Structure 1
């Protein structure tokens, strides 16, 4: 890398910082803009020597670009402020769809839109702001369509591009997508229907690979794609755009076209691809960045590409400063920069020991993984360790599935040809799906790190060490290298040796040796799954799991450490994400399910998946009883046919266990104070409980009389570290302490284990061992 490669870096850094400050602290934007303009004047006045002119010019451009970003944010603030006032109310929104739609974890269809008007019903106000809308699944929500929705609006946090999130209860298509957008939507719908007739695996994935339509991708496969670093293949990311550009460039070269014509044809093909997959902002950004990166690499001028990429990023941030706070844009820019600057030298370094084509094939995903890893660690807790290998295995199939699938989509007016092309694209799609599923099941396919700056710095150090080791053989240097070069190489090798050793040890402790860290005498376990509930009860070798927490990976790790393979009884207290988000971890290995009342279609779909995996479903209502091993269980809540508490937190399943080695225990789900009071009147709670799982993670909405009545010896608070809700609340901790309960918290003590021995309770935590009494 030379000085010319990074001379425009100050512009990008300055603009990015200005954008971040502006979107998170809007009130100071005009002050910052004034400061930037003052900086321009100071540079102009202070520049008197010709040799300083270059640096002065760069400073002037940087300050000017920063001012432009700040002005963009300032001009958008009045409309955004007006829209935010609608937060927390039921509103009527008329808007134009600006993105493709995808199915969320809640079962809704989610898409971005730009409002035309917003306000209470029949009293709309004209305002144009970006919003995020969730509707029940249906057709017609294509880019370019104009819709009217009525639903509850929720204001977003500072820094988010969308001003509001709207949960629609009523929807109407005022005007379907027309023109080229309408044609593209029709082609996509026909292609999705055609792909659905193909067998799995691969059928649902094919539309995602070819045209970015992920509605048919199974939830399990989607998670596997994410954990193996292959999700970018279905996100219409820079990889898809690069495939289209590269394929067109290569075909044009085979036809003998000159370089200028090849570039022009690649640009036309990329434009057509963007229209076909819906030209939403994220697709356009990916197309611009990937197009710059690919063309500059293909024409053999990557250094020019670095400058073009810097200008492209700067222009995009000026047009939409809120992108500075989005992980997707940061990853697109970083991956494009890696392709331009790092893939070639990494390829040369690997080429010393591998054939050139294989070296380049490995260098492309490796460079992207090394550069994007620290950014991912800022926002996500999962780091894929198998991503480079999975991308390498999927690399030969991805271009075929994308290009042939896209041709199948375009050939929809000629059904026989479209069927042939779709069937041809199915095979590489099935290969990618199988790669994701297989790789995700490997030990240590991913690791969990707390998202934030410390994790990002750790990943950055490891990534840099890998880069140094690989680049060591890039050039042959005559003589002995300088001391600092030798020192950096030795430190890098030491870092990798330490990481490999720690990783191998952790793999053993989390895998074959996981149960060695778990005491034998436990009967109740509270898994540390973050902000959510996942509690295990064991009696005579049989297992009950009460809720699954928000994350399948965290639940799977806990169950593995407990030596749990089969769930005899699964209790789903209610269907909030922090209680059912980890269902995938137990799919196919559940015997019976007790569940609260489903209130949305997504709830019923979760139950259907459990039933299809062999589980027997039961509506849990007060009075239902059963046996777990030698222990007895009894459902105390909800009341059958309750009108006052029909669903949600207040209809949480409350269950007690007793006997068979299990201390008398009560699990309160997320009940609030009102149903807690009714529970006391309808259930026999006298006699005291050894263990109580405190309701709703220790929120403040508790009934003191309930906890005085149950008189718990141990009170479990299942909450996440530094959660946004402040759980458990101080007043609830004081309430339980006043009843004489010994407080146990997963956010402070990690996984909790409770057992009974000689009439006494024993508690094991990840930080201490004790016998409360």
Structure 2
């Protein structure tokens, strides 16, 4: 594989040094001693260079080793110093000092991010959503004084905080707490914010454009209505988490946020319009610069958007000036400029993905394209090589973030590529027109909605394949191995691609890999009694009822994930399915349990709330000739190798009382015995119902506890610890927005002597009878990362 000439590697070398130095400075801020050593090294190098210059002026050419070495040293010290000072600065100053004392304060600052509601952060009041807002503080007043500052804080508000506007100046009072990362503090506000200054005109204009894009697709189906603003201007506020999950699985996540591709398409479209209107020469450059500025304002001037703008500008500039020859040097300049602007970007995964993808397209894609062009049309070779090279370059970073390697990403990106340009350009054009005349804008944006509709189809199809991805460890050695494999593939794959027979054979093996699940040797282990399936943010528990049979309690939120878990366990017959209550995270995966298996009885909660979800469950079961029933209270039943007994809700509870308690506290609670092991399955019961169980049943001792409500912090810890369980199973989704499981609760459970298994980190979690005692084992997730 041909590489650039050695002289062309000077700028990439400096960019790599800058990246490594900024990474070191951000992750391990050095002390003053290291900075002094670095500064002294620069002085020594400059003195040596001056002496050499006097002896032989020719040595000072720009290509001389002395100049390169000095430049390397300067970049190294400058980046380490800048990154460490920026990282250390976030945790110092007046705001950090007030936060360290957990003191209340009055804050005046500018809103620098759009309010982002999340379901819960553990801070919100009952019935309220937490709203996350970043505020650049200008002035802070606390008990010990008043300071003019410039520090960023993260506000965890609720209610009226959803309505604050980006760019507005607000005053509020709250309690400050220490924070990790680049924020000086976390703030829990007291009361509503007071707006003391409206956003500047450019922020108001940007919001008009964003509203226009939303209006242009308002009549379209939900997924299209959410995805067009996300693709065009990075507005993902209405995006369905399950759809975002499908995009992650199929390697299409870059379409859910502003990327360099977006800017390249928009910039190319604007420049083309300018040419049609007679704009030439420097006027075209000025038009391009104004377009970049406007794009950053509309998409929000966050580091990720600035990064995307830089990468888009690199792509366009490289295209205009022989990108194959100069692209890598242009990319290196962009990396240096971005790190000089914000050194802490070195630790951002998005920065790494952008740089690696661009480098893969510039370095690897041309070689692969030329190899493929020997036996396929050149346009087809380019269409295959570009997404494949970008995906290969990003694979180690993606695996480090998600713990998996996508098997369908290249095909998915290839299929959606023709739809990205019309979706972006027509979506933006429709939004601009909708500002003046909404019907015209909706007409123009209609093809954009159709285009994203196709993208949604591809994402759902790819994620629905039997094996869309494979699990991969996130530890050091697995990632080193994966990186080595990717380097080998980048250097050698062109030899395979130039031969049609071998390429088609490799494609056939890839197709087989995604269509035919490979059995996991030794799984499930002999003697397993209960399994908590990794189904994301939801519950699905399986009790071993005999060879090929399992009692399933809840179906999780995703049919594919519960289906795969049951397949891995070898479950072909479900003699009893229990749906503890009708929340989506317990019943939306019902099809995954039913498809391809025989199901006996289906038992449900006595409270049909939410009503829509309960009706959907009834309809789904009716299609398969099944009818849900409410299980009998206090009547142990033998189901294969399992004895099941419902212990909650109490039969004395009236329908009105159950309805008032809500679906969580009306969850079916079971005590099951599997081969002598007692298991308590708690649904989502909350403290009131837990205390009710304690009053009704007294001391209930079991071996295995399924922790209620995904490990929420709202628990009766006295009741949970009184069970005397030796194993606690927690079913929660990776990186969920609820704060589940609560660290404090896990500490309590471990302090009570329980071994805690959590599906968000451990994957499918099993309890096994081994040598007369209980053991635990887990299978890291294979498939979609949890929402």
TM class, shorter-length: 0.7 to 0.9
Aligned to 1:600: none
Residues 378-527 of structure 1: pairs in structure 2 closer than 5 A: 378-412=400-434, 413-472=436-495, 508-509=516-517, 517-518=523-524, 524-527=530-533
**CA distance in 1 between partners of 2:98 and 2:393 (Å):** 36
**CA distance in 2 between partners of 1:749 and 1:374 (Å):** 20
Indicate yes or no: 2:1 matched with 1:5: no
Indicate yes or no: 2:230 matched with 1:208: yes
CA-CA distance at 1:447 after TM superposition: 2.3
- Distance of aligned partners of 1:8 and 1:552 in 2 relative to their CA distance in 1, 3 Å threshold: farther
Indicate yes or no: 2:42 matched with 1:18: no
Aligned to 1:601: none
Residue 172 of structure 1, aligned match among 193, 197, 204: 193
CA-CA distance at 1:385 after TM superposition: 1.9
**CA distance in 2 between partners of 1:414 and 1:705 (Å):** 61
Indicate yes or no: 2:95 matched with 1:78: no
TM-score, normalisation: structure 1: 0.75
Q: More displaced, 180-189 or 65-74?
A: 65-74
- Distance of aligned partners of 1:263 and 1:384 in 2 relative to their CA distance in 1, 3 Å threshold: farther
CA-CA distance at 1:667 after TM superposition: 3.7
Question: Is 2:556–2:586's contact at 8 Å kept on the other side of the alignment?
Answer: yes
CA-CA distance at 1:185 after TM superposition: 0.7
Aligned to 2:45: 43
**CA distance in 2 between partners of 1:754 and 1:676 (Å):** 27
TM-superposition CA deviations, 1:582-633 (whole Å, max 9, x none):
9865589797765999xxxxxx9xx6884574379xxxxxx97789885331
- Distance of aligned partners of 1:208 and 1:31 in 2 relative to their CA distance in 1, 3 Å threshold: same
**CA distance in 2 between partners of 1:446 and 1:535 (Å):** 23
Question: Is 1:555–1:582's contact at 8 Å kept on the other side of the alignment?
Answer: no
**CA distance in 2 between partners of 1:612 and 1:125 (Å):** 58
Residue 545 of structure 1, aligned match among 543, 553, 561: 553
- Distance of aligned partners of 1:451 and 1:179 in 2 relative to their CA distance in 1, 3 Å threshold: same
**CA distance in 2 between partners of 1:284 and 1:374 (Å):** 24
- Distance of aligned partners of 1:295 and 1:315 in 2 relative to their CA distance in 1, 3 Å threshold: closer
Question: Is 2:213–2:430's contact at 8 Å kept on the other side of the alignment?
Answer: yes
Indicate yes or no: 2:292 matched with 1:270: yes
Name the SS of the counterpart of 1:95 in structure 2: strand
**CA distance in 2 between partners of 1:77 and 1:728 (Å):** 28
**CA distance in 2 between partners of 1:441 and 1:548 (Å):** 16
Name the SS of the counterpart of 2:376 in structure 1: coil
Indicate yes or no: 2:179 matched with 1:156: yes
Aligned to 1:323: 345
Indicate yes or no: 2:75 matched with 1:62: yes
CA-CA distance at 1:98 after TM superposition: 1.9
Q: Report the number of matched residues.
A: 710
CA-CA distance at 1:329 after TM superposition: 1.8
**CA distance in 1 between partners of 2:635 and 2:270 (Å):** 65
**CA distance in 2 between partners of 1:162 and 1:537 (Å):** 45
Name the SS of the counterpart of 1:188 in structure 2: helix
**CA distance in 2 between partners of 1:525 and 1:508 (Å):** 23
Question: Is 1:156–1:163's contact at 8 Å kept on the other side of the alignment?
Answer: yes
TM-superposition CA deviations, 1:411-455 (whole Å, max 9, x none):
121223212112232111211111111121112212232324334
Question: Is 2:563–2:592's contact at 8 Å kept on the other side of the alignment?
Answer: no
CA-CA distance at 1:25 after TM superposition: 3.5
Question: Is 1:674–1:703's contact at 8 Å kept on the other side of the alignment?
Answer: no
- Distance of aligned partners of 1:762 and 1:735 in 2 relative to their CA distance in 1, 3 Å threshold: closer
Indicate yes or no: 2:645 matched with 1:632: yes
Question: Is 1:753–1:764's contact at 8 Å kept on the other side of the alignment?
Answer: yes
Relative contact order: is structure 1 or structure 2 higher (C-alpha 8 Å, sep ≥ 6)? 2
Residues 78-227 of structure 1: pairs in structure 2 closer than 5 A: 78-79=92-93, 82=96, 85=99, 93-104=107-118, 106=120, 108-118=130-140, 126-136=148-158, 140-148=163-171, 155-157=178-180, 160-166=181-187, 170-172=191-193, 174=195, 175-227=197-249
CA-CA distance at 1:250 after TM superposition: 5.1
Indicate yes or no: 2:304 matched with 1:282: yes
CA-CA distance at 1:266 after TM superposition: 3.2
CA-CA distance at 1:316 after TM superposition: 2.4
List alignment gaps of at least 5 residues for structure 1.
Answer: 477-492, 598-603, 617-622, 738-742, 768-773
Question: Is 1:205–1:217's contact at 8 Å kept on the other side of the alignment?
Answer: yes
Residue 665 of structure 1, aligned match among 659, 679, 684: 679
Aligned to 2:568: 561
**CA distance in 2 between partners of 1:258 and 1:473 (Å):** 45
Question: Is 2:646–2:671's contact at 8 Å kept on the other side of the alignment?
Answer: yes
**CA distance in 2 between partners of 1:672 and 1:659 (Å):** 23
TM-score, normalisation: structure 2: 0.74
Indicate yes or no: 2:557 matched with 1:536: no
Question: Is 1:244–1:270's contact at 8 Å kept on the other side of the alignment?
Answer: no
CA-CA distance at 1:521 after TM superposition: 8.6
Indicate yes or no: 2:765 matched with 1:751: yes
- Distance of aligned partners of 1:54 and 1:593 in 2 relative to their CA distance in 1, 3 Å threshold: farther
Aligned to 1:351: 373
TM-superposition CA deviations, 1:181-204 (whole Å, max 9, x none):
112212322431442222344222
**CA distance in 1 between partners of 2:90 and 2:704 (Å):** 54
CA-CA distance at 1:500 after TM superposition: 9.7
TM-superposition CA deviations, 1:295-332 (whole Å, max 9, x none):
21233144434333323322322332222222112222
Residue 614 of structure 1, aligned match among 596, 613, 617: 617
Question: Is 1:108–1:135's contact at 8 Å kept on the other side of the alignment?
Answer: yes
**CA distance in 1 between partners of 2:40 and 2:176 (Å):** 41
CA-CA distance at 1:745 after TM superposition: 9.5
Name the SS of the counterpart of 2:236 in structure 1: coil
Residue 361 of structure 1, aligned match among 383, 391, 408: 383
Aligned to 1:488: none
